[in-house]
Amino acid sequence: MVQISLPDGSVRAFDAPPTGLALAESIGKGLAKAAVAMRVDGALMDLTRTIDTDATVAIVTRDQPDGLELLRHDAAHALAEAAKELYPDVQVTIGPSIENGFYYDFYRETPFTPDDLARMEERMREIVDRDEAIHREVWNRDDAVAYFLSIGEKYKAEIIADLPADDVITLYRQGAFLDLCRGPHLPSTGRLGKAFKLMKLAGAYWRGDHRNAQLQRVYGTAWASDKELKAYLTQLEEAEKRDHRRLGREMGLFHQQEEAAGMVFWHPKGWRLYRKLEAWLRERLDAAGYVEVKTPQLVDRKLWEASGHWEKFRQNMYISENEEGVRAYAENPKERIFALKPMNCPCHVQIYNQGLKSYRDLPMRMAEFGSCHRFEPGGALHGIMRVRNFVQDDAHIFCTEDQIISESTAFCSLLLGVYRDLGFTDVFVKLADRPPQRHGADAVWDKAESALKAACDASGLAYVLNPGEGAFYGPKLEFTLRDTIGRDWQCGTLQVDLVLPERLGAFYVGEDGQKHHPVMLHRAIFGSFERFIGILIEHYAGRLPLWLAPTQVAVATIVSDADDYAQEVAGLLRGRGLQVELDRRNEKINYKVREHSLAKVPVMVVVGKREAEERTVSIRRLGRPDQETMALADVLDVLAGEARVPVETGAPVAAAAE
């Protein structure tokens, strides 16, 4: 008899080892219909496998995260089967599930076309209709290699040959298609459903190496229901309209070019936006007791070696010497090699180490808007969201162990206030706790993890546990924002560092008169200015709050007789602190309205002969078809009030009207 413990605490007994499907059916037909896999003592397994011993089992359904990932993985296999049926000359390589979907890499001399994508998607739907049973098979390694070579699948054969010697070789068969996979899989292709779509083609290299054969990557998306698929496709359409790269050009904010790949050329309006955001955040940090510092761009390799970054991050660092200099260093360590800093933390420890510190000097909150350089692969670059040169809103808090809770709570409160005032009220948190390989005593890890949990509780932040994903030096919180169209952006972080202060010799004299290493809290709110500005642009679709807009008001004339009055109005608005663009061009007013609307200017002040005579103006708000006539004096007060910089009121700032 086999005893199965269920998540609700109940126990079911079976005279013979049941399959996962049999277990699900014994619980209920609805559950059996929705089931896609099972967890047996925590391990994800096929529903078709038998449960041979007493175990704790949870049925996984298609609407759960594990179930959705499994659907996407099976969609990749259905894509590979479809490709092989339609194009026998194709060779299959790998096809994992990814965020929001899946892909499969194929080798084929003839390039795929968009029409091929449509054909493959249609054949995938036929495979679902065929409801082919999916069977797991365990093969001998040599037999598996020989089989794939015999059918011309050299890439699969190479993968199997390179697997560790003790790996169990499992193949999955669906219909006439057989593929290498660890599993698990759905019981049959019919359970995949049809809430999927092939999205695009891209290039890839075998094993990610440009020296190897070029492959064709087919991307797709898959969801648990048609409703979710439609919602995702609608989100993509809306995201395309909000693409910060296009809006950045239309608004005249920035541009990028190949001569400085991964860098940003900020135009006057874009740099004005950047400086506004920086100045506003600086005021918030000043009020929160931070001191601002500035550290060098180029730092000797020896510091990066001491901090551990040279070993772990060298491939992403830019060094100042040429290859001859590198060889000279290898022959003589006295030769100096400098690297552009990829992060600020080791430099901040150098400032901390200047002068003896007492426990009375802590906490010390050290902030820097630090310009960092990291080599990102060309394929990973994306507008200003993923760049090679960026500015972190970085800070490090040096504190005692007893201060971790209070400092973490204070930071969470600061972060939430900043997000609220920028219009982000939907924030969730992941707490990544201790990894298997780590530094520091368990007692210190206990205190650090408890402090981060307490900070979340005190700040009203719900969190989910991300087990084992903390850094080797300490646990961390990851703050994710949800924008107006439902996309998630991981921005802020709070990391408890138990290692770097010790590695770099930082200490303070405690109340006991002994030396102690401080705890180092690494924290950021934006993450990087460049990426956060990109997120803001897309969140607001370019219609930034009036206080943040690079051009807040455009004063436009209807006739040349109003030129002098328009100049006076613009001067008065500037006197009230507003950024104003004066448009006295000899163009029709409708043309001017369209142009400034495209540039996402929040307010247009229109003046003609009548307005000049009556000392009034006509107000047009971005995105609204109507206009309002107001006395000039009233307009100055109204717009100056609306453009006032938020001061942590707790209320979100309204965007310009859609």
Q: Select which of 217, 522, 600, 620 is catalytic.
A: 522
| Structure token digits, residue 495 | 């990391």
The reply to whether 181 sits in an annotated binding site is no
State the Rg of the chain over Cα.
30
Told to judge if 514 belongs to the known catalytic residues of this protein, a careful annotator would answer no
Would you call 630 helix, strand, or coil by DSSP?
strand
Residues belonging to the chain: 658
- Relative to beta strand 35-40, strand 2-5 is unpaired
Q: Select which of 91, 216, 392, 579 is catalytic.
A: 392
| Structure token digits, residue 624 | 């609204």
- Relative to beta strand 298-300, strand 338-340 is antiparallel
Told to judge if 456 belongs to the known catalytic residues of this protein, a careful annotator would answer no
Would you call 501 helix, strand, or coil by DSSP?
helix
DSSP H/E element including 32: helix 29-34
DSSP one-letter string for 65-133: HHHHHHHHHHHHHHHHHHHHHH-TT-EE----EETTEEEEEEE-SSPP-HHHHHHHHHHHHHHHHHT-B
Told to judge if 179 belongs to the known catalytic residues of this protein, a careful annotator would answer no
Q: Select which of 345, 347, 456, 491 is catalytic.
A: 345
Would you call 405 helix, strand, or coil by DSSP?
helix
- The C-alpha atoms of residue 31 and residue 23 are separated, in whole angstroms, by 10
- Relative to beta strand 580-583, strand 553-557 is parallel
Residue with tokens 């000049």: 612
Told to judge if 621 belongs to the known catalytic residues of this protein, a careful annotator would answer no
Residue with tokens 């135009």: 267
The reply to whether 345 sits in an annotated binding site is yes
Positive or negative: CA dihedral 256, 257, 258, 259 = negative
| Structure token digits, residue 91 | 């060779």
| Structure token digits, residue 271 | 């740099």
The reply to whether 244 sits in an annotated binding site is no
Residue with tokens 């929160």: 288
Q: Select which of 74, 394, 421, 483 is catalytic.
A: 394
- Relative to beta strand 364-373, strand 298-300 is unpaired
Told to judge if 583 belongs to the known catalytic residues of this protein, a careful annotator would answer no
The partner residues of 476 in beta bridges, in order of sequence, read 432, 495
Q: Side chain identity at 261, as an amino acid letter? A: A
Q: Select which of 185, 301, 341, 396 is catalytic.
A: 396
Q: Select which of 374, 453, 516, 620 is catalytic.
A: 374
Nearest residue to 220 (alpha-carbon basis) of 186, 244, 239, 194: 194
- The C-alpha atoms of residue 477 and residue 552 are separated, in whole angstroms, by 36
- The C-alpha atoms of residue 370 and residue 390 are separated, in whole angstroms, by 8
Told to judge if 267 belongs to the known catalytic residues of this protein, a careful annotator would answer no
Give CA angle at 285 (282, 287), nearest 5°. 110
Annotated binding-site members for Zn(2+)? 345, 396, 522
**Catalytic residue ranges:** 345, 374, 392, 394, 396, 476, 522
Tell me the binding residues.
345, 396, 522
